[in-house]
Amino acid sequence: MPMTRNDALALDAQDPLAPLRAQFALPEGLIYLDGNSLGVLPRRTAERVQEVVTAEWGVGLIGSWNSAGWMQLAPRVGDKIARLVGAGAGEVVAADSTSVNLFKVLSAALTIARTDAPGRQRIVSERSNFPTDLYIAESLARERGFELVLADADELPQHLDSRCAVLMLTHVNYRTGRMHDMAALTRAAHSAGALTVWDLAHSAGAVAVDLRGADADFAIGCGYKYLNGGPGAPAFVWANPKHAERFWQPLAGWMGHAAPFEFTPGYRPAPGISRYLCGTPAVLSLAALECGVDTVLAAEPYGGLPALRAKSVALTRLFAELVEARCPQLALASPREDDRRGSQVCFAHPDIAYPVVRALIARGVVGDFRAPDILRFGFTPLYLRFVDAFDAALHLQAVLEQEEWRRPEFNQREAVT
């Protein structure tokens, strides 16, 4: 029998992760399916940021770099993120943006590759990788004399040969939600003599990641999606300990110095991942990010990431099945297989994807559009319910059947889609 709304409510009543929803300030009546673009505000964040502003900054002033532990924020938050991505203590720092961190680690990987195997000239990546990753790679390839080679996901293994220096991939594809087998592709790259750089922007905090288990070489990730760190939150960076101290990263700023307050004119890199820091830590943003990461770590007593992943799989499967049954105009763009799908479901329509998303938002169901034809829906298991997935599918059906997407205001492109 088809699932009913009461069936969805029954699943929510049995959900062991249900108490975690109370951590978030969710607007009443809103179904938020865009946590893969910007996570929801944790209730603790506003209070914590206010504390940093009024007490630590307002009263403690510059002394708070010591008394409030501001100097330890980047590694402290990094250690918390490490627990979510299969890294060890002291191996991750939270700093800068995803793009800046990618520049750091890709530069380091290319330096290592050129030192160990000078004949390798290729950076291999997925054709549909997130554009900022490709732009950074294109820039570095031009500067360093490498070639950027793009391939469809299924064609990647055939490009892992003696010409490949670095395989650079996003673990979960931003457009389709397709999830790569990190361990298998890393093994294939290493067998070919290449290094791997992984972008965890759409996986950290939502799907299982085991950087050490996969023997990955470098990884970076985003703080404002599933980690709920707020708009523009700092990103994070990880280097396999076997690589961390081999070379300087290219942005040799004072916070990456072994002793920044010696104020010496020559650069001496800090040990380990600390050398991947650059400028002064963004204290307010790091404080907010720590609150967001804590919301994910709060799942540990309830089964941690395995429990989150199991709920994510169930939510995305339910939504995909409901929409396919009720909205034949849309084509499923995400993998049907649970183990190949991240924490999002995407549908495609060649003509009306954008206005349909806008019409849904007007109904209180927030997803987003990705050019040229993708309706994208993210499922954050910390705060989403099965009844949210059920109701969202019904709203989408109504938008299509009633042709609400035809309204002129829904066809006017906004700056952010």
Q: What is the mean pLDDT of the chain?
A: 96
Q: Residue 241 has which token pair?
A: 């300990």
Mind listing the pLDDT tens digit for each residue in 2-36?
Answer: 889 999 999 999 999 999 999 999 999 999 999 99
Domain boundary among 267, 297, 327: 297
Residue 41 maps to a domain: no
Are 24 and 124 contained in the same domain?
A: no
Mean pLDDT across the stretch 138-159? 96
Are 83 and 166 contained in the same domain?
A: yes
Q: Residue 64 has what pLDDT?
A: 96
Residue 37 maps to a domain: no
Mean pLDDT across the stretch 188-213? 97
CA–CA separation, 216 and 149 (whole Å)? 20
Phi, psi (deg, nearest 5) at residue 205: 95, -5
Q: Residue 384 has what pLDDT?
A: 98
Does pTM surpass 0.85?
Answer: yes
| Res 1 pLDDT > 90 | no
* Span of 11-20, 121-130, 242-251, 373-382 with lowest mean pLDDT: 242-251
CB-side exposure of 55: number of CA atoms within 13 Å? Answer: 9
Say how many domains are in the chain: 2
Mind listing the pLDDT tens digit for each residue in 330-352?
Answer: 999 999 999 999 999 999 999 99
| Res 213 pLDDT > 90 | yes
CA–CA separation, 338 and 48 (whole Å)? 37
Are 76 and 217 contained in the same domain?
A: yes
Q: Where are the alpha helices (DSSP H) in 194-259?
A: 211-214, 241-244
Residues 6+ away with beta carbon under 8 Å from 196: 166, 167, 168, 169, 185, 186, 189, 190, 216, 217, 218
Residues with catalytic roles: 130, 199, 224-225, 376
**Boundaries of domain holding 83:** 50-297
User: Which pLDDT band, with edges at 50, 70 and 90, does 415 fall under?
Assistant: confident
